[in-house]
Amino acid sequence: MIGSKIYCFDKIDSTNEYIKKHLSELNNGDIVFAQEQTNGRGRHGNIWISPIGNLYFSFYLKEELLHNQLFYYLMKSSIAVINTLKKYNINAKIKYPNDIIIDRKKIAGILIESNGYQKIEYLIIGIGININETIFRDLKYNAISFKNLLEKEVDPKDVLNLFIQSYNELNEDSRIYELYIKNLNLYQKRVKYMDKIYEVHQILKNGKILLKNNKNTILVDYNKLSFSEIYDK
Protein backbone atom coordinates (compact mmCIF):
# COMPACT_ATOMS: atom_id res chain seq x y z
CA MET A 1 0.00 0.00 0.00
CA ILE A 2 1.26 3.46 -0.83
CA GLY A 3 -0.12 6.86 0.04
CA SER A 4 -1.35 6.50 3.60
CA LYS A 5 0.75 9.60 4.25
CA ILE A 6 1.43 12.31 1.66
CA TYR A 7 3.90 15.12 2.34
CA CYS A 8 3.03 18.13 0.19
CA PHE A 9 5.36 20.96 -0.77
CA ASP A 10 4.87 24.05 -2.87
CA LYS A 11 8.47 23.97 -4.02
CA ILE A 12 11.43 21.68 -3.26
CA ASP A 13 14.58 20.65 -5.05
CA SER A 14 13.47 17.14 -5.93
CA THR A 15 10.93 14.79 -4.37
CA ASN A 16 13.36 11.88 -4.82
CA GLU A 17 16.07 13.85 -3.07
CA TYR A 18 13.73 14.75 -0.21
CA ILE A 19 13.06 11.08 0.49
CA LYS A 20 16.76 10.24 0.26
CA LYS A 21 17.50 12.89 2.90
CA HIS A 22 14.68 11.87 5.26
CA LEU A 23 14.79 8.08 5.14
CA SER A 24 14.79 7.64 8.89
CA GLU A 25 11.65 9.76 9.33
CA LEU A 26 9.65 8.14 6.57
CA ASN A 27 7.63 4.95 6.47
CA ASN A 28 7.03 2.37 3.81
CA GLY A 29 4.63 3.74 1.19
CA ASP A 30 4.94 7.42 2.14
CA ILE A 31 4.58 9.86 -0.75
CA VAL A 32 6.28 13.20 -1.28
CA PHE A 33 4.49 15.58 -3.64
CA ALA A 34 5.67 18.96 -4.91
CA GLN A 35 3.95 21.56 -7.05
CA GLU A 36 7.31 22.64 -8.39
CA GLN A 37 10.87 21.25 -8.31
CA THR A 38 13.98 23.37 -8.60
CA ASN A 39 16.34 20.47 -9.24
CA GLY A 40 14.21 17.71 -10.73
CA ARG A 41 16.17 14.72 -11.91
CA GLY A 42 15.62 12.36 -14.78
CA ARG A 43 17.29 9.12 -15.78
CA HIS A 44 20.91 9.01 -16.95
CA GLY A 45 21.73 12.18 -15.00
CA ASN A 46 19.35 14.32 -17.03
CA ILE A 47 17.50 17.19 -15.47
CA TRP A 48 13.71 17.09 -15.29
CA ILE A 49 12.47 20.62 -15.77
CA SER A 50 9.63 20.98 -13.28
CA PRO A 51 7.52 24.14 -13.56
CA ILE A 52 4.26 24.50 -11.64
CA GLY A 53 1.28 22.74 -13.25
CA ASN A 54 2.60 19.24 -13.78
CA LEU A 55 2.68 16.33 -11.35
CA TYR A 56 5.88 15.55 -9.45
CA PHE A 57 5.94 12.96 -6.72
CA SER A 58 7.98 10.13 -5.27
CA PHE A 59 7.18 7.24 -3.01
CA TYR A 60 9.30 5.32 -0.59
CA LEU A 61 9.35 1.54 -0.49
CA LYS A 62 11.18 -0.05 2.39
CA GLU A 63 11.79 -3.43 0.79
CA GLU A 64 14.67 -5.87 0.96
CA LEU A 65 15.26 -6.89 -2.60
CA LEU A 66 17.84 -8.34 -4.88
CA HIS A 67 18.91 -6.26 -7.81
CA ASN A 68 17.05 -8.41 -10.31
CA GLN A 69 13.74 -7.80 -8.51
CA LEU A 70 13.96 -4.08 -9.08
CA PHE A 71 12.50 -4.26 -12.56
CA TYR A 72 9.26 -5.62 -11.08
CA TYR A 73 8.65 -2.26 -9.40
CA LEU A 74 9.51 -0.44 -12.53
CA MET A 75 6.94 -2.49 -14.46
CA LYS A 76 4.35 -2.05 -11.72
CA SER A 77 4.81 1.72 -11.62
CA SER A 78 4.65 1.97 -15.42
CA ILE A 79 1.38 0.03 -15.49
CA ALA A 80 -0.06 2.14 -12.69
CA VAL A 81 0.72 5.26 -14.74
CA ILE A 82 -0.86 3.71 -17.86
CA ASN A 83 -3.99 2.81 -15.85
CA THR A 84 -4.15 6.29 -14.33
CA LEU A 85 -4.08 7.89 -17.77
CA LYS A 86 -6.82 5.50 -18.95
CA LYS A 87 -9.09 7.04 -16.32
CA TYR A 88 -8.86 10.25 -18.39
CA ASN A 89 -9.36 8.30 -21.62
CA ILE A 90 -5.71 8.79 -22.47
CA ASN A 91 -4.22 5.71 -24.08
CA ALA A 92 -0.49 5.66 -23.57
CA LYS A 93 2.18 3.04 -24.15
CA ILE A 94 5.38 2.14 -22.37
CA LYS A 95 8.61 2.81 -24.15
CA TYR A 96 11.15 0.37 -22.75
CA PRO A 97 12.22 0.54 -20.06
CA ASN A 98 9.91 3.10 -18.52
CA ASP A 99 8.99 6.15 -20.51
CA ILE A 100 5.30 6.64 -20.95
CA ILE A 101 4.50 7.85 -24.43
CA ILE A 102 1.68 8.72 -26.77
CA ASP A 103 2.53 8.56 -30.45
CA ARG A 104 6.23 8.81 -29.62
CA LYS A 105 5.72 11.85 -27.43
CA LYS A 106 6.63 11.54 -23.78
CA ILE A 107 3.87 12.22 -21.23
CA ALA A 108 5.54 10.75 -18.13
CA GLY A 109 8.87 9.54 -16.85
CA ILE A 110 9.86 7.30 -13.95
CA LEU A 111 13.10 7.39 -12.01
CA ILE A 112 13.87 4.56 -9.59
CA GLU A 113 16.68 4.99 -7.12
CA SER A 114 17.92 2.56 -4.48
CA ASN A 115 20.69 2.27 -1.93
CA GLY A 116 22.93 -0.18 -3.65
CA TYR A 117 23.37 -2.61 -6.42
CA GLN A 118 23.21 -6.12 -5.01
CA LYS A 119 21.26 -6.08 -1.78
CA ILE A 120 18.64 -3.40 -1.97
CA GLU A 121 17.08 -2.09 1.24
CA TYR A 122 14.79 0.57 -0.14
CA LEU A 123 13.48 2.06 -3.33
CA ILE A 124 12.57 5.61 -4.18
CA ILE A 125 10.23 5.73 -7.14
CA GLY A 126 9.88 9.21 -8.62
CA ILE A 127 7.29 10.00 -11.24
CA GLY A 128 6.79 13.09 -13.34
CA ILE A 129 3.64 13.46 -15.44
CA ASN A 130 3.06 16.33 -17.85
CA ILE A 131 -0.31 17.78 -16.95
CA ASN A 132 -0.85 21.49 -17.63
CA GLU A 133 2.32 22.45 -19.47
CA THR A 134 1.71 22.98 -23.16
CA ILE A 135 4.91 24.55 -24.38
CA PHE A 136 7.85 22.51 -23.24
CA ARG A 137 11.06 24.12 -22.15
CA ASP A 138 12.88 20.83 -22.28
CA LEU A 139 13.59 20.38 -25.95
CA LYS A 140 15.35 17.06 -25.46
CA TYR A 141 12.05 15.25 -25.43
CA ASN A 142 9.24 15.39 -27.82
CA ALA A 143 6.69 15.93 -25.08
CA ILE A 144 2.92 16.01 -24.66
CA SER A 145 0.64 16.78 -21.72
CA PHE A 146 -2.90 16.17 -20.45
CA LYS A 147 -3.77 19.73 -21.47
CA ASN A 148 -2.48 19.19 -25.01
CA LEU A 149 -4.74 16.15 -25.26
CA LEU A 150 -7.81 17.10 -23.24
CA GLU A 151 -7.76 20.84 -23.94
CA LYS A 152 -8.52 21.64 -20.31
CA GLU A 153 -6.66 22.08 -17.04
CA VAL A 154 -6.46 19.11 -14.69
CA ASP A 155 -5.45 19.27 -11.03
CA PRO A 156 -2.18 17.35 -10.57
CA LYS A 157 -3.39 16.22 -7.11
CA ASP A 158 -6.40 14.47 -8.66
CA VAL A 159 -4.03 12.60 -10.95
CA LEU A 160 -1.89 11.65 -7.95
CA ASN A 161 -4.93 10.25 -6.12
CA LEU A 162 -5.86 8.16 -9.13
CA PHE A 163 -2.28 6.94 -9.41
CA ILE A 164 -2.33 5.84 -5.76
CA GLN A 165 -5.55 3.94 -6.41
CA SER A 166 -4.16 2.32 -9.57
CA TYR A 167 -0.91 1.32 -7.88
CA ASN A 168 -2.66 -0.14 -4.85
CA GLU A 169 -5.04 -2.10 -7.06
CA LEU A 170 -2.14 -4.05 -8.55
CA ASN A 171 -1.08 -7.11 -6.58
CA GLU A 172 0.76 -10.41 -7.00
CA ASP A 173 -2.14 -11.78 -9.02
CA SER A 174 -2.07 -8.90 -11.46
CA ARG A 175 0.33 -10.55 -13.94
CA ILE A 176 2.54 -7.49 -13.92
CA TYR A 177 5.00 -8.82 -16.51
CA GLU A 178 2.24 -9.77 -18.95
CA LEU A 179 0.59 -6.36 -18.53
CA TYR A 180 3.94 -4.65 -19.05
CA ILE A 181 4.62 -6.55 -22.28
CA LYS A 182 1.08 -5.92 -23.49
CA ASN A 183 1.49 -2.18 -22.97
CA LEU A 184 4.89 -1.81 -24.61
CA ASN A 185 4.93 0.23 -27.76
CA LEU A 186 5.26 -1.77 -30.90
CA TYR A 187 7.39 0.66 -32.86
CA GLN A 188 10.48 -0.11 -30.89
CA LYS A 189 11.56 -3.12 -32.88
CA ARG A 190 15.08 -2.17 -33.77
CA VAL A 191 17.67 -0.42 -31.65
CA LYS A 192 21.12 0.93 -32.10
CA TYR A 193 23.44 -0.20 -29.34
CA MET A 194 27.20 0.47 -29.32
CA ASP A 195 26.97 1.56 -32.93
CA LYS A 196 25.36 -1.65 -34.14
CA ILE A 197 21.80 -2.28 -35.11
CA TYR A 198 19.87 -5.07 -33.42
CA GLU A 199 16.40 -6.48 -33.51
CA VAL A 200 14.69 -6.48 -30.14
CA HIS A 201 14.00 -10.13 -29.53
CA GLN A 202 12.65 -10.30 -26.02
CA ILE A 203 12.39 -8.42 -22.77
CA LEU A 204 12.91 -10.71 -19.79
CA LYS A 205 11.17 -10.56 -16.42
CA ASN A 206 14.26 -9.09 -14.79
CA GLY A 207 14.28 -6.28 -17.36
CA LYS A 208 17.17 -7.48 -19.46
CA ILE A 209 16.68 -7.06 -23.16
CA LEU A 210 17.71 -9.70 -25.66
CA LEU A 211 19.07 -8.15 -28.83
CA LYS A 212 19.92 -10.04 -32.00
CA ASN A 213 21.48 -9.29 -35.33
CA ASN A 214 22.91 -11.58 -37.98
CA LYS A 215 26.21 -11.81 -36.11
CA ASN A 216 25.43 -11.61 -32.39
CA THR A 217 22.90 -12.22 -29.70
CA ILE A 218 23.42 -10.07 -26.64
CA LEU A 219 21.66 -9.58 -23.35
CA VAL A 220 21.75 -6.03 -22.02
CA ASP A 221 20.70 -4.73 -18.62
CA TYR A 222 18.06 -2.01 -18.80
CA ASN A 223 19.94 0.43 -16.62
CA LYS A 224 23.22 -0.04 -18.46
CA LEU A 225 21.49 0.72 -21.65
CA SER A 226 21.42 4.10 -23.26
CA PHE A 227 20.63 3.14 -26.77
CA SER A 228 19.11 5.35 -29.35
CA GLU A 229 16.07 3.81 -30.83
CA ILE A 230 15.26 3.34 -34.43
CA TYR A 231 11.59 3.24 -34.94
CA ASP A 232 10.09 0.97 -37.53
CA LYS A 233 6.76 1.96 -38.91
Residues that bind ligand BTN (CB under 6 A): 14-16, 37, 40-43, 46, 48, 56-58, 99, 109-111, 126-128
Q: Which is nearer to ligand BTN, 56 or 193 (CB)?
A: 56
Q: How far is the CB of 173 from ligand BTN (least distance, A)?
A: 28
Integer angstrom CA distances of residue 203 from 58, 102, 106, 112? 26, 21, 21, 19
Q: Which is nearer to ligand BTN, 46 or 223 (CB)?
A: 46
- 3 state DSSP class of 134: coil
Q: How far is the CB of 133 from ligand BTN (least distance, A)?
A: 13
Chain residue at closest Cβ approach to ligand BTN: 109
Q: Which is nearer to ligand BTN, 38 or 217 (CB)?
A: 38
Q: Which is nearer to ligand BTN, 137 or 215 (CB)?
A: 137
Q: How far is the CB of 55 from ligand BTN (least distance, A)?
A: 8
Q: How far is the CB of 202 from ligand BTN (least distance, A)?
A: 23
- 3 state DSSP class of 95: strand
- 3 state DSSP class of 45: helix
Integer angstrom CA distances of residue 115 from 109, 112, 146? 20, 11, 33
d(CA 42, CA 127): 9
d(CA 230, CA 124): 30
Can you say how many angstroms the Cα of residue 2 is from the centroid of all Cα atoms in its chain? Answer: 16
φ, ψ dihedrals at 100, nearest 5°: -110, 120
Q: How far is the CB of 178 from ligand BTN (least distance, A)?
A: 24
Q: Which is nearer to ligand BTN, 106 or 208 (CB)?
A: 106
